Structure 1
Amino acid sequence: MALTGRIPREFGNLSFLVSLELGSNNFHGNLPQEMTRLRWLKFLDSSFNNFRGEVPSWFGFLHRLQVLNIRNNSFTGSIASSFSNMSTLETLNLNFNSIEGQIPEVIGSLINLRGLRLRGSLPNCLGNITSLREIHLSSNKLSSNIPPSLGKLQDLVVLDLSSNKMVGSLPLEIGNLKAVTKMDLLMNQFSNRIPREIGGLQNLAHLSLRHNKLQGYIPDSMSNMVGLEFLDLSHNNISGIIPKSLEKLQNLKYFNVSVNKLYRRGKRAPEQADPLSTKKQERISYYELLQAMDDLSESNLLVPEVLALFTKAFKSRTAVAVKVFNLQVDAAFKSFDMECEVLRNLRHRNLVKVITTCSNLDFKALILEYMPNDMKPSNVLLDENMVAQLSDFGISKLLGEDQGDLYTKTLATLGYIAPGYGLEGLVSTKCDVYCYGVMLLETFTRRKPNEFEGDLSLNQWVSYSLSDTVMDVVDANLVTPMGKGLQKELDVVASIMKVALDCCAESPARRINMKDVVGMLQKIKIQLLACSACY
């Protein structure tokens, strides 16, 4: 069971303490300033707690500190200049706090730099920390280009700048990072060509440039990157053909160039279809619909609480789902009009497609594609290719441009209601993040959030049990008890559980945003694929 309370000031009297591990508990308040007397301390881990307040400037007086990990707390402020006194610091992890600002110009002999909540530019001073081995600055608000000075880091092994808003070209100096084995630049806004100098990175095993705005051809020099095992260039504007020379990459296990403008050798580049072009919409009368639905028989109800019905056969389709609006409810007419307007302009592979509508003064319905409803919560459906689709997603409560949140009397499902919603009726995107976290926990534990009594919730149960062993909470059907890769499978599940718990934080301000969630799950997916490739 996790420990709670504050850290007593008397900890400062443990003058010969070398290692202090406080991680994965429910400690809160400030770290006492008396800890500055721990002059022999080399390892300090206070991650995954509820510590708050400004980042203690007295960290800078722990001159022997080698590892400082305060990730997943509620620290605020900026990094004090006193941090530059920590000349022995090797690993700094400040991920998932609300820390902002720049890295001090001199910050010791850092080997691993992790999780600074930075805004604006990537500091040029990083190029001066020549002892850096790893840079983990994913899921921040960086909006600059990669400074050419980064090419000075001859010993850099990992460069992770994923899930930011970085722009500009990839610098030619990127080819100087000869020791790098992993480079993750996905989900940014890098543009122009992939520099041919990247082909000099022969030790690089993992390269992800997906979800950027890169153009031009795949450089032939990439065939020299003989250490590559993972290469993802998908979701860009890359054109031309896949170089035949890439067949020299004998170690390649994962290769993704989907959603680009590539074409086969000998074929012309395909013309781009107008994404807004629409087919002639099918028409359906009220009486046709009523007959197909057996006069709205309750036996056909798919999701009773939202009046969604389905039939096994309708016209040329094997099955459709029908969302019937309850016109006795206030604002139902406005809700129908708004959903029609929004769905007319929305196109996404993970939204259920609208086939047509049926509307008169006494009846209003949306006719949607039907798919098996085997996954809970009930508004997440799977199509025949097991692609998740979202239906009945509250379009009528879409926020305007100036609205960050909204007060509402709309009912929500117990167990999925975010604390702020239940207490105050306040709706925001943070409520959706909470619901998503509960859904993840439900999926991987096979426990419903309404199974628990008293003050215990699903996320609390997982949080308390996860610190002991993952096997206590995971659905036994998801792992192979006697398999060779059991521990790696459990590590993957534990990582997903931690993402889910970050989504379910009590305070909306501490919940991560969905962009961060996507980035973290992408990395876990890569970890799982690498695990599967080994067995």
Structure 2
Amino acid sequence: MSFNEINNLVVPQGYNGLRKLKSLDLSGVGVRDGSKLLQSIGSFSSLNSLYLSSNNFTETVTITTQELHNFTNMEYLKLDDSPLHISLLQSIASIFPLLKNLSMIGCEVNGVIRGQDFPHSKSLEHLDMEFMRIALNTSFLQIISESMSSLKYLSLSYYTLGINSSETLNQGLCSLVHLQELYIASNDLRGSLPWCMANMTSLRILDVSSNQLTGSISSSPLVHLTSIEELYLSNNHFQIPISLEPLFNHSRLKRLWAYNNEIKAEITESHSLTAPNFQLQSLLLSSGYGDGVTFPKFLYHQHDLEDVHL
């Protein structure tokens, strides 16, 4: 139903249809009243994918106790006699504890998010919040790590993570040990990648491009992320040796985009491995190289290359 002129969605009270509905796409429909929206779709008890991208919801979602009793999956929220004033995200987590996929790309949600008593979304695996505009009063990443421990996909690109420091990532993100895809591009993150990221050994795709990150990849947690298949480091201030030797053990690496970083010459020609374990398909290393950089010899061992920028 996405991108239609729907400004009010009404499902009659007691409606028993669509009990097997698995996926609902209400992206860009113009519904501003988040309360009424959740009152309407809360009866879809089998929902596991919800798409709300490109909507601008009103400031606070208010749900009364009686309305909450009408929902079917209410194991995770304590009820009392007063209306609840909680954010849209908290409401979704409460009403749909079985939800696996949630997309809120480009949404504007100004409600307060509270970490205390935030309902646990143990089933949520995919959370996409690119271009999200949201007012926070606590560490959002900490809330995610404590209440969404099953996440496999998380996108916060083009988002303001807060204090513009890579230490922001320490606030819970590294405990998401099941995470396979992490996108945090264009957040003005500064400093070096925190070492706790070395524990995120399930990562297949990591995108930290277009930040202000620094440090040598030879002494970074990237060395330990050997399950990486796609690594996006472009538009930062990383120090990357032209040999790519720190990544030689990354046997699954297929795509490396690292343009506009500090590409460094080799200090010595002796390498622990004569050839890398990876076979790249796409390599972008364009940069203002300095003097003394020689042609990268690891390219002699690459046979699957389709796209190379030097």
TM-score range relative to shorter protein: 0.5 to 0.7
The reply on whether 1:181 has 2:181 as its aligned counterpart is no
Instruction: Check conservation: 1:182, 1:207, Cα contact below 8 A.
Output: yes
Instruction: Check conservation: 1:232, 1:255, Cα contact below 8 A.
Output: yes
Structure 1 residue 122: deviation in Å?
5.5
Distance in 2 (CA, whole Å) between partners of 1:141 and 1:222 is: 37
Instruction: Check conservation: 1:147, 1:171, Cα contact below 8 A.
Output: no
Structure 1 residue 10: deviation in Å?
6.8
What SS does structure 2 have at the residue aligned with 1:11?
helix
2:50 aligns with 21
Structure 1 residue 188: deviation in Å?
0.6
What SS does structure 2 have at the residue aligned with 1:166?
strand
2:302 aligns with 249
**What amino acid maps onto 1:227 in structure 2?**
Q
Instruction: Check conservation: 1:135, 1:158, Cα contact below 8 A.
Output: yes
Ranked by relative contact order (alpha carbons within 8 Å, sequence separation 6 or more), the top structure is 2
Instruction: Check conservation: 1:226, 1:251, Cα contact below 8 A.
Output: no
Instruction: Check conservation: 1:226, 1:248, Cα contact below 8 A.
Output: no
What SS does structure 2 have at the residue aligned with 1:44?
strand
Structure 1 residue 38: deviation in Å?
0.6
The reply on whether 1:119 has 2:165 as its aligned counterpart is yes
Deviations 1:89-148 (A, max 9, x none): 4434344444525xxxxxxxxxxxxxxxx5343534655433221221110121111234
- The within-5 A match list for 1:71-470 is 71-77=130-136, 78-80=138-140, 81-83=142-144, 84-100=146-162, 118-121=164-167, 123-124=169-170, 126-172=173-219, 173-191=221-239, 193=241, 196-217=245-266, 223-237=275-289, 239-244=292-297, 246-257=299-310
Distance in 2 (CA, whole Å) between partners of 1:129 and 1:49 is: 24
The reply on whether 1:46 has 2:104 as its aligned counterpart is yes
Structure 1 residues 98, 12: closer, same or farther in 2, change over 3 A?
farther
Structure 1 residue 243: deviation in Å?
4.2
Instruction: Check conservation: 1:215, 1:236, Cα contact below 8 A.
Output: no
Structure 1 residues 22, 203: closer, same or farther in 2, change over 3 A?
closer
Instruction: Check conservation: 2:248, 2:277, Cα contact below 8 A.
Output: yes
**What amino acid maps onto 1:29 in structure 2?**
T
Structure 1 residues 12, 158: closer, same or farther in 2, change over 3 A?
same
Structure 1 residues 99, 54: closer, same or farther in 2, change over 3 A?
farther
Distance in 1 (CA, whole Å) between partners of 2:175 and 2:116 is: 24
Distance in 1 (CA, whole Å) between partners of 2:210 and 2:254 is: 20
**What amino acid maps onto 2:105 in structure 1?**
S
Structure 1 residues 38, 127: closer, same or farther in 2, change over 3 A?
closer
What SS does structure 1 have at the residue aligned with 2:259?
coil
Instruction: Check conservation: 1:148, 1:171, Cα contact below 8 A.
Output: no
Instruction: Check conservation: 2:162, 2:168, Cα contact below 8 A.
Output: no
Structure 1 residue 204: deviation in Å?
0.6
Instruction: Check conservation: 2:155, 2:184, Cα contact below 8 A.
Output: no
In our comparison, the structure showing a higher alpha carbon Rg is 1
Deviations 1:449-493 (A, max 9, x none): xxxxxxxxxxxxxxxxxxxxxxxxxxxxxxxxxxxxxxxxxxxxx
TM-score (norm 1): 0.39
Is there any run of 5+ residues in structure 1 with no aligned partner, and where?
102-117, 258-535
Would you say how many aligned residue pairs link Structure 1 and Structure 2? 241
Structure 1 residues 222, 165: closer, same or farther in 2, change over 3 A?
farther
TM-score (norm 2): 0.64
Instruction: Check conservation: 1:76, 1:100, Cα contact below 8 A.
Output: no
Q: What CA RMSD, in Å, does the superposition of the two structures yield over aligned residues?
A: 3.3
What SS does structure 1 have at the residue aligned with 2:299?
helix
1:446 aligns with none
Structure 1 residues 88, 148: closer, same or farther in 2, change over 3 A?
closer
Structure 1 residues 52, 88: closer, same or farther in 2, change over 3 A?
same
Structure 1 residue 178: deviation in Å?
1.9
Structure 1 residue 12: deviation in Å?
4.5
Structure 1 residue 231: deviation in Å?
1.3
Deviations 1:399-447 (A, max 9, x none): xxxxxxxxxxxxxxxxxxxxxxxxxxxxxxxxxxxxxxxxxxxxxxxxx
1:415 aligns with none
**What amino acid maps onto 1:79 in structure 2?**
S
**What amino acid maps onto 2:239 in structure 1?**
S
Give the number of the structure whose residues are more often helix, by fraction: 1
Distance in 2 (CA, whole Å) between partners of 1:33 and 1:46 is: 19
